[in-house]
Amino acid sequence: MSDWDLYKQTCFLMAQPLAPELSFAVITAHNPQGDKVSETYNRLLDYRLQQDIVRLNVPYRELWGSAPDLSHREKSWAVLAEKSIMLTLARAYQQNAIYWVDANQLYLTPCLLKDQSEEHIGTFSQRVIVST
């Protein structure tokens, strides 16, 4: 299965759901270009990404992008910023794609993957698992 197909199956682990009318990006810095890197390096990349998000001076919240069976998770951020800004930031972290949420509609949006087009993949709320 391609990375793109795997991305389309992602669910999101959150401490509390977001309001359904919001528009935001879900972005990670983990595993640049889809290549697995060490946990330590992923933590460093995540720290740098969070600092970049803080500098944007926009609301954001931590979450985890996860395989449906929870076998793979990547720390991510829901960021209430313009889509173009988030795509630029994702490219800086060598990410293949981001998720874009617009009024609960979930889109998989390519960043580095030139052979893919943005794809509507359902509703965000149906993929949220509230964790404590």
Picking from 109, 113, 121, the residue whose alpha carbon sits closest to that of residue 85 is 109
Question: How confident is the model at residue 132, as a pLDDT?
Answer: 66
For the segment 3-23, the average pLDDT, to the nearest whole number, is 94
pLDDT surpasses 70 at 24: yes
For the segment 27-51, the average pLDDT, to the nearest whole number, is 97
82/54 Cα distance (integer angstroms)? 14
Question: How confident is the model at residue 15, as a pLDDT?
Answer: 94
Q: What is the pLDDT of residues 95-109, one digit of tens each?
A: 999 999 999 999 999
CB-CB contact of 51 with 70 (8 Å): no
102: helix, coil or strand? strand
pLDDT surpasses 90 at 17: no
Whole-model pTM: value is 0.96
Rg (CA), the chain: 13
CA angle centred on 64, ends 99 and 34, rounded to 5°: 60
